A = this chain, B = another copy of it.
Amino acid sequence: MRKIRIAINGYGNLGKSAEIAARQFPDMALAAILTRRNPRSIQPATAGLPVYHLDQAASLTGMIDVMILCSGSMKDLPEQGPAMARLFHTVDGYDTHALIPEYFAAMDQAGRSAGKLNVIAAGWDPGLLSLQRLLSRAILPAGKDETFWGRGVSQGHSDAIRRIRGVVDARQYTIPREDAVEAVREGEDRELSTADKHERECYVVLEEGADAQAVAAAIKAMPHYFADYHTTVHFVSLAELKQNHAGLPHQGLMMRNGRTGRDQQHRQLYSVSLQLDSNPDFTAHVLLACARAAFRMAGEGQQGARTMLDIPPAYLSSLSSAELLSSIL
């Protein structure tokens, strides 16, 4: 069987991870990278891999089976997503939770108008943990679940700190509160806000002569981002930040406590934990597994937008039905 020809649009952290990830998917061949920058400014990790400008996309439809959209959710995908869905089967990791219904509708319309199949909001959350919420709620209707994020870097919060006067650079970690995790694990029926569940740890590099106390106060007072949270601020040197906080680790934890039995006397605890050394690598791996599924669904004549909740799990695997029956069940 011929390989699934994939291309990567956007060569930031996620795009770079996707390029390397493709080496682990033997049924896929990397066909191209697309970028909004000058293609000559991009040096792919893969020798000989062609780099095109995004404006050339329409001329590439014959050489690409699935386009992996690796650009940002905030500004890029709402525009690029539907445009690409008119040209290619696509997979993306759109992750602005509140706007997913709107983005789904735009992608669905674009995909159907062009006969394309478009998987959106794939990754670990939204994506894999969404799938776990669905499974645990479908199986255990009487119950309650919580999702915890971290310990991991939040790019948005790090950016917010960098905008404060006197700050050279910063890195913010979101950290689950141990007492909240423990309460859920023990099945306590407690209402928990996002701030009850998480605290925030900031590593900040100051400009020379900047007022540390004033910066710390400005961070802790920032509405939405920090004001509602228990926030710790550490001042470090730029060298220390680069040495100890350059990685992009993250973690996710979904726990559902269900109750079953005539008097709901039985507690059933369903937990899923992801401990990721590299957030972009893991997300890229999810996107590639979904690209395989997209290729298969498209091959059946399906079109329009899909999420991971719509994908028959077997379509994500390279194994045949017979192999799945004998080796995985």
Neighbouring B residues of A317 by C-beta, 8 Å: 134, 137-138, 309
- Stretch touching chain B among A49-57, A188-196, A218-226, A276-284: A276-284
A275 to chain B, nearest CB (A): 4
Give the residues in chain B near A284, CB-CB below 8 Å: 260
Task: Name A278-324 residues within 8 Å CB distance of B.
Answer: 278, 281-282, 284-286, 289, 292, 307-314, 316-318, 322, 324
* Residue from B135, B273, B277, B292 within 8 A of A266 (CB atoms): B277
Q: A40 near B: Cβ within 8 Å?
A: no
Contacts A277-B267, A278-B268 given; indicate if A104 touches B314 (C-beta within 8 A). no
Pairwise interchain contact B329-A126, C-beta atoms closer than 8 A: yes
- Tell me which residues across on chain B come within 8 A of A229, comparing CB atoms: none
Determine how close the nearest CB of chain B comes to the CB of A42; give it in whole angstroms: 17
Verify A309–B328 contact, CB threshold 8 A: yes
Question: Nearest-CB distance from A134 to chain B (Å)?
Answer: 5
Q: Report A99-133 CB contacts with B as 1/0, cut-off 8 Å.
A: 01100100000000000000001000010101111
Give min CB distance, A219 to chain B, whole Å. 29
Chain A residues with a Cβ closer than 8 Å to the other chain, count? 67
Number of copies: 2
Task: Indicate whether A154 reaches chain B with its CB closer than 8 angstroms.
Answer: no
Assess whether A59 is interfacial by the CB under 8 Å rule. no
Instruction: Name the residue of chain B whose CB is nearest to the CB of A125.
Output: B329
Question: Is A97 in contact with chain B by the CB < 8 A criterion?
Answer: yes
The answer to whether A236 has its CB under 8 Å from any CB of chain B is: no
A261 at the interface (CB under 8 A from B): yes
Q: Is A325's CB under 8 angstroms from B21's CB?
A: no
Check A141 for interface membership: any CB of B closer than 8 A: yes
A268 contacts across to B, CB distance below 8 A? 274-278, 281-282, 285
CA–CA, A131 and B276, complex, Å? 20
Q: A213 near B: Cβ within 8 Å?
A: no
Shortest Cβ distance from A292 into chain B, in angstroms? 8
Contact between B20 and A262, CB atoms less than 8 A apart? yes
Q: In the assembly, what is the distance between CA of A24 and CA of B138, in Å? A: 10
Q: Contact between A307 and B329 (Cβ–Cβ < 8 Å)? A: yes
A278 to B324 CA separation, bound complex (whole angstroms): 28
Complex contacts, A158 vs chain B, CB 8 Å: none
Q: How far apart are the CA atoms of A318 and B138 in the complex, in Å?
A: 7
A271 within 8 A of B: yes
Nearest 5 Cβ contacts at the A-B interface = A266-B277, A260-B281, A266-B278, A138-B316, A269-B275
Which B residues are in CB contact (< 8 Å) with A322?
101
